[in-house]
Amino acid sequence: MLFATIVQAVFGITYRKRNRWRKIRFLRAMQLRGYWLMDAVHYPINRIGGRKVNSRARERFIKRERFKLLRRIAKLASQNRGSLRAIVLIKNIVYQALAKTLRHAGYNVPQPGPIGFPRWHRDPATIDGIRTALQMQPRGRGSK
């Protein structure tokens, strides 16, 4: 659902999941435009040990892993000539857990507030939030 919404926001194309090669082609096209998708943590945090995890606990997991995320972002930046144009945070809890840390580390988080996770495929509110954040990016080399 999130991937289809991001494709709609970036390319204006309705993405339908048909096969994994189609997704890989879209990911490569996004990377050529300078967009990289990255999860805040390397493991699912909606359920741990078979139990549903509440929002506060998820935020704690994300905050606890933030330095690993910063290392992954720094590595990605170094592989891309040392600069990243912007980091757009999707999902309220992700924004709350990471925006301040990323800005303090010198990264451009262009959105003034959270962009909600899509409630359905190609959710217009999420699409508008992504498009607005991407338009707010500074021109040129960017930050960091």
Residue with tokens 């757009």: 88
Domain boundaries, the chain: 2-135
Which distant-in-sequence residues (6+ apart) come within 8 Å of 130 by Cβ?
Answer: 5, 6, 9, 10, 88, 90, 115
| pLDDT at residue number 60 | 93
| pLDDT at residue number 81 | 75
| pLDDT at residue number 20 | 75
| pLDDT at residue number 83 | 64
| pLDDT at residue number 72 | 93
- Total-model pTM: 0.82
Binned average pLDDT, 10 residues per bin, the chain of 144 residues: 90 82 87 85 85 91 95 89 80 95 92 94 92 68 41
- Written as one string, the DSSP assignment of the chain is -HHHHHHHHHH--------HHHHHHHHHHHHHTT-----SSSS--SEETTEE--HHHHHHHHHHTHHHHHHHHHHHHHHTTT-BS----BSHHHHHHHHHHHHHTT-----SS-BPPPSSTT-HHHHHHHHHHHHTSPSTT-B-
